[in-house]
Structure 1
Amino acid sequence: MADVHKVVFYPVGNGDTTQIVLSGGRRVLFDFCHRERAEDTDTPEIDLKSRFKDELKAVDRDYFDVVAFTHADLDHIQGSTDFFELQHAKKYQGEGRIKIRELWVPAAMLLEEADKDHQQEEFVLLRQEARHRLLEGKDILVFSKPKALADWLEPRLNERGEAASARDHLFIDAGTIVPGFSLASDGVEFFCHSPFIKHCDEGDIIRNRASLVFNVRFLADGAYYDYLEVGDATWEEMEDIVRTTRYHKNDDRLAWDLYNIPHHCSYLVLNEEGQKGDKETEPKPLVKELLLQGKRDAYIVSCSKPIPDIKESYEQVQPPHIQARNTYERYLKEVGGRKFLVTMEEPNANKPEPIVFEIASGGVTWKRSASIGAPAIITSTPPRAG
């Protein structure tokens, strides 16, 4: 049987939710943003909870193999603690909750503090869940091991009569391949670009700077395709990633057939504050180099509200920024890419549907479908392999 993987981007407004469905059936979810207003059929945002429950029921599942929260901002975790089963407390179990077989989080999510008035906020509940799983030693991977986290963990392991190194296998460093998936058995591997230890060891934790960034490499019928999955990194992190990756001679991990651009098409991913530009944002040198790593027939996806090319868009303070879109489109054209897509624009802004890509022998192909598993309509000619 031919290998067919899928990458699906969900229309949740200025928020992120992306699912990878592997040809063998395993499912990896990046972020979860369910807006309560989406349960009203008159709103354009998708009812994520209903959609996922329907999709999982159709394949006789009540779980995701992996749920990765790139960072703890609300637009990446909203509604998650009502939807997923959490192991750390009975009150978050049962009643049709969806299970997380393995949780992936940046170290920053275990270190964030909250005062007593905010103990029920979702980022605190997820912090408790991540800490519980780490202490239990199962069903979690934590990306980077800063000193602050080691200082929190080691006394607790000592109380349990365990060595300080007893959880080392659950920590993943930047520049390494994540265990549990392989090109040989799953047709995919996850190469961790970020976070770096310095993101938590240099003072205050800034969520965006400490977020997860991956090169996801797919194998389909003997050919390789690369997907760049990025949390809300800023231009500084993007330059760090390029600089560090090249230093370690992993340049191929910067190439992309599919790029989920960070932070809802914010210009701050391309350049510093105040450098939005009139028509386009001029990218920093190493950010520009990353954009030029796009392969022929590549796609860029912006998980964001619509970005119309009208006068008001050029004056927009909050993302998405039309200046950033214009930049991405210019470089996409330069590398011979196919299309810049916005989750809240496809097929139209009134009732958008998930953007579905199939990765198979023909390459990365953009399709539209009402749900995963339903017949898809090809909306672009198959790209060349590689």
Structure 2
Amino acid sequence: MANGVPGCRLRRSNASEVCVAVLHKVLFYPVGNGDTSQVVLDNGRRILFDFCHRPQSEKDDTPEIDLKKRLKSELADAKRDYFDVVAFTHADADHIMGSTEFFELQHAAKYQGDGRIKIKELWVPAAMLLEEADNQQQQDEFVLWRQEARHRLLEGRDILVFSQPEALMKWLRPKLKERGESENARDHLFIDAGRLVPGFTLGADGAEVFCHSPFIEHCDEGDIIRNSAALVFNVRMRADGADFDYLEVGDAKWNDLEDIVRTTKAHKNEDRLAWDIFNIPHHCSYLSLSDEKGDKETEPKPLVKELLLMGKKDAYIVSCSKPVPDIKQAYDEIQPPHIQARHCYERYKDEVGARQFLVTMEEPNANKPEPLIFEINGKGMVWKPAAIVGAAAIITSKPSRAGR
């Protein structure tokens, strides 16, 4: 509220102040079986989750979007050459593909300049700093991001690392000693599960980010499993006193989700499991619901079912994946997306009164999909199908009041 007017902020223009409506956006990009989404806040700050640019997308006859071209165009329109935050949920190729050619890396001059996009703050799971690589992998993208994350952590700036496992501290402490610094000099750059991420507030940004995962044991107990040690966030956006929750999950499996639900409930943070937008895990894989696919429909594990039932009325479920057709041969597919999983999500969509199940590579059609764009303001959440962008919004979710 500004000057007593609900749902607006003040903008100075020609020495006078005018009231403009609060507007946040969440975008999902059609990159095949891969993840890239972006939160654009009303104040202009941008959080990019993952980056999957497929080389074939630069040709005109492929359905995947040319992600590099699209993001650079959006940034140019905003008169920017940077993201406020880039968060890599984990280091699988379908979450980092093409990223080391697109972003500026601070650890080596050869990855700087030449139109590269800057990252003001890098968010990574601790696993990305710990993964081992052999001599043949030194130029692989996950290794370059490991080097970048380690460099930023040692320099003590422009990074947050999620979870503080002892395995990582055993690497970090001797490095800090060599620099003449105390062994806890970087503690402020580590964020544990169950905490709000510093740097974003509902008051200043109209948004806050809550970390669900990873847990310390994901890196300190045996081999690192990327999907289990990945970032999982609740992004809460507020407009005119109404809260909207975006659940960003990455590639978690059903047992990881059950751990998250169990832990979140134990700490009485159940509201952080609620969702208006649910970026479902692992490209609509049944393994994010259960260890059994099912013949026609996957039956979710009990705590995964609880998470699905946390959907709000008029919410949306988004599958960052190839099309999920309901045809005979789809029921035998080994790789995701799985039609049995889609049937499960659609069942619980209907049960909670959510509005739609959307697939990034299906909208507005499978031949030439466009980004899914959700707009959030004091009147509600609006999905604008590509065919009507710029026209009156017709698919709107009603807001829930903050604190309810």
TM-score range, shorter chain: over 0.9
Residues 1-386 of structure 1 aligned to structure 2 (within 5 Å): 1-272=20-291, 275-369=292-386, 375-377=389-391, 380-386=394-400
Conserved 8 A contact 2:324-2:338: yes
* Structure 1: stretches of 5+ with no match in the other structure: none
RMSD: 1.1
Distance 1:309 1:362 in 2: 35
- Residue deviations 1:122-170, cap 9 Å, x none? 0000000000000000000000000000000000000000001000000
Conserved 8 A contact 1:193-1:214: yes
1:222 positional shift: 1.1
1:381 positional shift: 3.1
Q: Greater Rg, structure 1 or structure 2?
A: 2
Conserved 8 A contact 2:384-2:395: no
Identity %: 72
1:382 positional shift: 2.0
1:359 positional shift: 1.0
1:385 positional shift: 1.4
Distance 1:61 1:251 in 2: 37
Count of residues in Structure 1 that have an aligned counterpart in Structure 2 = 381
Amino acid at match of 1:237: D
Instruction: Give TM-score, length-normalised by structure 2.
Output: 0.93
Instruction: Give TM-score, length-normalised by structure 1.
Output: 0.97
Distance change (3 Å), C-alpha of 1:224 and 1:350: same
- Residue deviations 1:341-368, cap 9 Å, x none? 0000000000000000011112221113
Tell me the secondary structure at the aligned position of residue 74 of structure 2. Answer: helix
Amino acid at match of 1:212: L
1:201 positional shift: 0.6
1:375 positional shift: 5.0
Distance change (3 Å), C-alpha of 1:360 and 1:243: same
Distance 1:375 1:333 in 2: 26
1:378 positional shift: 5.1
Distance 1:231 1:377 in 2: 32
1:379 positional shift: 5.9
- Residue deviations 1:289-328, cap 9 Å, x none? 0000000001000000000110111111000000000000
Conserved 8 A contact 2:364-2:386: no
* Structure 2: stretches of 5+ with no match in the other structure: 1-19
Tell me the secondary structure at the aligned position of residue 277 of structure 1. Answer: coil
